[in-house]
Amino acid sequence: MSRLTAPCLLALTLGACAADPAASFDEENGDYFEGHAYDEGQIDAPAGFVKADRVAPYERPEVTELVRPEIIVSLEQLTVHVFDRTTGFSRVYPTGVGELGRSGRSITPTGHYATGPDTSQGWWYVATRWEPAYFEGYPFLRLTVENSNGYNTYGFHGPITNPLRRGYVSHGCMRMAKADIVDLFFHVRRFPSTPVTIQQEPELDAAGNVVDLDSDVTLWAVGEEITYGASVGPRDDRPVGFVGDACETAEDCGRWGDDAYFCHEAGFCTTLCEGYCPDRAGYPSTFCVSDANEFAQGVCVQQVDGRNAECALIPGTVPGERDRFVGTSEAPAATANVCAVPE
């Protein structure tokens, strides 16, 4: 029996292997659910998308403090796995994914994606989505997956049906039980661009075991390359364009605002500075320190923070107290605990 057939048979047992047209077609708008027609062309939340005067139908959960969450979706195993290698946090949820197409596989796109780049943007991170009505006020976590017209219409959301039908039931999105989408949303809510991989195959953990609902998951070590399914292959996780992001060349760093970034010989992105450095939402605060470089200027580094695992996630750096590089600026003298190249 193939791995594709097994979950399908399970879904048939639950009455949910194929999409139910009556449950998934919106006759009024002439399109399928999952927000495809409603969301296309939008870059901001439209009027009525989030209504502040409506109370969420759920209580905000207590969450475990994470450092760098990641998500893997398996279309064959029908699972959503959120984990954090730094803290050891790991939870696996059941899901309903895109219906089976002519190929016999789910129509949900496979690949390496992410959550939205700006956690303050209600288009990407919707704590209570009321429009269209079938979302019932539960969270909608939008992904960078694009549909055939180039719009970001895919994401994680509530079950549409009650209870959740675990199987090939949607038109692309990952449906989750009400409590599960709330739990997932608030665990990754404050982390921009959380890595999300959607693969055809069952997910294998670091011990080579299939990840499922009751699995005792062995997480991959921090910095270790995860073995993803053949449908997606390796993930290039080199971040682009801000202080502390890993790099190999200047092209990995790009620009942030008006500042040109370069790749420090230690292997992280930085920019020259005198006195002050820019900060970016979702990243630790930065600090300008002296550095032995050809420009005889300071460079920006991250301050020691749980989000960089006390510098373990920034190549070539160690934590330590360093004085501010003032240069010709009028910045006052200061000291900070930073992730810098050893002197």
Q: Please indicate whether residue 244 or residue 151 has the higher confidence score (pLDDT).
A: 244
The whole-chain average pLDDT of the chain stands at 84
Which tens digits make up the pLDDT trace of 32-64?
444 456 787 777 777 667 776 788 999 999 999
Pairwise CA distance, residues 149 & 158, whole Å: 24
Against a cut of 0.85, is the pTM above it?
Answer: no
For 10-31, write each residue's pLDDT tens digit: 333 333 333 333 334 433 333 3
Task: Give the Å distances, CA to CA, from 78 to 16, 41, 72, 159.
Answer: 12, 29, 11, 14
- Cα angle at 314 between 312 and 318, to 5 degrees? 60
- Greater confidence (31 vs 278) lies with 278
Q: Beta partners for 99? A: none
Identify the CATH homologous superfamily for domain 5-199.
L,D-transpeptidase catalytic domain-like (2.40.440.10)
Taking the CB of residue 92, how many other CB atoms lie within 10 A of it?
Answer: 21
Biggest distance spanned by C-alpha atoms of the chain: 72
* Predicted local confidence at residue 253, as pLDDT: 81
Closest among 273, 303, 278 to 288, alpha carbons compared: 273
- Cis ω for the linkage preceding 57 (within 30 of 0): no
Q: Where in the chain are the domains? A: 5-199, 250-340
- Give the pLDDT mean for 175-194: 96
Q: What's the pLDDT tens digit per position in 79-102?
A: 999 999 999 999 999 999 999 888
Q: Could you identify the residue written with the tokens 């330590």?
A: 320
In this predicted structure, the answer to whether residue 70 has a pLDDT above a threshold of 80 is yes
Mean pLDDT of 114-142: 91
Question: Is the per-residue pLDDT at 203 higher than 90?
Answer: yes
pLDDT at 143: 94
**If we measure between CA atoms, which residue out of 132, 154, 159 comes closest to residue 58?**
159
pLDDT in tens, 299-324: 999 999 888 889 999 999 999 999 99
Helix, strand or coil for residue 91?
Answer: strand
Per cent of the chain over pLDDT 70 is 83
